[in-house]
């Protein structure tokens, strides 16, 4: 089976690429196929935070998640360190908390409504480039395309066709979803507790509200960026249990789920002839591991690169890195890469406590919303 474009992965990055193609180059979108190994709605480990940047991307595509999906508006987020708290507030929202499987399924249905072809239950085994074509080998046969977009996540197959990346760019995560403790509630508040950085976790423990039917739910988790892979590290289970206990929630008896996350590095391989990477396959935010809004932004850049490649009949994608870096997502990802190294390189308790108000202010002012200035949302306020 022969196509112009094959997108591997029907998550936010792959679907955003397809939706932007349908907007920029409708005829090319008609010759595009999106392959997904699972079936929507499929389980997906994710805290479910959708930042305003994601809403801006969706609005550009004529999509409104607020009227289509259950969500919890989070208007206040606390960044904590050993009892010190820097609170970020925004009206209407700092972010919206969604169930990731519902978000992805809604986005896939929106893509189908725009005429995009999605085949689910197709697992890609190998991607090979030869004679100006890409051979996509799957468990249900082979597909040919002139260009392939790897939007198949941190452990995706397509990335191997671009370059063998070092494993040290992979963060670790554990997550649980459980009924809210009485004192936590299900209101629009969330927190990130960075107290664990002194125990060898280059990240934080989080607590977000989560949409649910009839019962207040929260997602809890721990994120360890490992931006300094040589540093000693602790067991994530221990860090999460300590974070739960520290914040008044029982720390045992939960079903833990984990997954790796590839984070962005400005020198990482993002493309090869006939192949592009997008979303987590290209790299998520290294500071907090946020990926949904960046995945949608990657899709915008990837679609423009595909349109230009077919217009020029040049599939080298030699400019793709420059296009990413010049886009807002590239500028913010570079900023967050520097921020991760600065924050997680600090190991001195006194300095962290002293600098924590400044860190909270910087997070609200410079790191959260990469679409600031494009949207109608007001700036973040830190206190």
pLDDT tens by residue, 353-380: 999 999 888 887 766 666 654 555 555 5
Q: Which two structure tokens, joined as six digits, stand for 117?
A: 């072809």
- Give the predicted TM-score (pTM) of the model: 0.93
What average pLDDT does the structure give for the chain? Answer: 89
pLDDT tens digits, one per residue of 82-106: 989 999 888 788 899 999 999 999 9
Q: Which one, of 124, 126, 144, lies nearest residue 134 by Cα?
A: 144
pLDDT at 52: 87
pLDDT at 249: 72
For residues 50 and 154, give the distance between their C-alpha atoms in angstroms, rounded to a whole number: 19
Residue 25 has pLDDT above 90, yes or no: yes
Residue 326: strand pairing partners: none
Alpha helix (H) residue ranges in 91-235 = 100-113, 159-162
Residue 247 has pLDDT above 80, yes or no: no
For residues 262 and 259, give the distance between their C-alpha atoms in angstroms, rounded to a whole number: 10
pLDDT tens digits, one per residue of 313-327: 999 999 999 999 999
Task: Report which DSSP code applies to 263.
Answer: B
pLDDT at 33: 98
DSSP β-ladder status, 95-97 and 72-74: antiparallel
What's the Cα-to-Cα distance from 332 to each of 64, 161, 323, 369, rounded to whole Å?
24, 26, 13, 9
**Residue 121 contacts residue 18 (beta carbons within 8 Å):** no
Residue 126 has pLDDT above 70, yes or no: yes
pLDDT over 90 for what percent of the chain? 64
pLDDT at 185: 46
Residue 305 has pLDDT above 90, yes or no: yes
Least confident of 79-83, 107-111, 118-122, 297-301: 79-83
pLDDT band at 155 (very low <50, low <70, confident <90, very high): confident
pLDDT at 214: 61
pLDDT at 326: 94
Structural domains of the chain, ranges and CATH numbers in brackets: 2-72+97-167+263-346 (3.50.50.60)
Residue 328 has pLDDT above 80, yes or no: yes
CA dihedral 119, 125, 129, 134 (to 10 degrees): -10
pLDDT at 244: 79
- Which of residues 203 and 380 earns the better pLDDT score? 203
pLDDT band at 1 (very low <50, low <70, confident <90, very high): confident
For residues 282 and 279, give the distance between their C-alpha atoms in angstroms, rounded to a whole number: 5
pLDDT band at 300 (very low <50, low <70, confident <90, very high): very high
Return the H-helix or E-strand segment holding 334.
helix 328-345
What do you get for the CA distance between the two ends of the chain, in Å? Answer: 57
Q: Which one, of 111, 108, 109, 141, lies nearest residue 123 by Cα?
A: 141
């Amino acid at each position: 089976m022969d196509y112009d474009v094959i997108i591997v992965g029907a998550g936010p990055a792959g679907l955003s690429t397809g939706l932007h193609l349908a907007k920029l180059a409708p005829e090319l979108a008609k010759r595009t196929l999106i392959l997904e190994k699972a079936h929507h709605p499929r389980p997906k480990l994710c805290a479910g935070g959708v930042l305003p940047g994601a809403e801006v991307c969706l609005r550009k595509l004529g999509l409104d998640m607020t009227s289509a999906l259950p969500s919890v508006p989070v208007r206040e987020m606390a960044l904590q360190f050993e009892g010190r708290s820097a609170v970020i507030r925004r009206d209407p929202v700092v972010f919206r908390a969604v169930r990731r499987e519902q978000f992805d399924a809604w986005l896939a249905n929106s893509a189908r409504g725009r005429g995009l072809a999605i085949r689910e239950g197709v697992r890609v085994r190998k991607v090979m480039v030869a004679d100006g074509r890409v051979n996509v080998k799957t468990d249900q046969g082979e597909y040919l395309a002139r260009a392939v977009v790897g939007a198949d996540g941190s452990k995706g197959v397509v990335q191997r066709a671009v370059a063998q990346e070092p494993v040290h760019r992979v963060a670790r995560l554990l997550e649980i979803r459980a009924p809210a403790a009485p004192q936590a509630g299900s209101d629009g508040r969330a927190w990130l507790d960075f107290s664990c950085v002194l125990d060898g976790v280059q990240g934080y423990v989080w607590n977000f509200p989560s949409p649910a039917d009839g019962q207040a739910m929260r997602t809890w988790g721990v994120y360890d960026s490992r931006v300094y892979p040589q540093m000693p590290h602790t067991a994530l289970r221990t860090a999460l249990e300590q974070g739960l206990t520290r914040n008044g929630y029982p720390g045992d008896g939960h079903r833990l789920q984990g997954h790796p996350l590839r984070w962005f590095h400005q020198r990482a391989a993002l493309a090869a002839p006939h192949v592009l990477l997008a979303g987590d396959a290209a790299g998520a935010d290294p500071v907090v591991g946020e990926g949904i809004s960046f995945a949608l932004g990657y899709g915008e850049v990837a679609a423009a690169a595909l349109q230009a490649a077919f217009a020029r009949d040049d599939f080298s994608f030699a400019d793709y890195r420059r296009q990413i870096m010049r886009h807002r997502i590239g500028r913010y990802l570079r900023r967050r890469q520097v921020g991760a190294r600065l924050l997680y390189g600090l190991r001195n308790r006194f300095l962290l406590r002293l600098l924590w108000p400044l860190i909270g202010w910087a997070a609200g002012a410079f790191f959260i919303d990469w679409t600031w200035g494009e949207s109608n949302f007001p700036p973040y306020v830190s206190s």
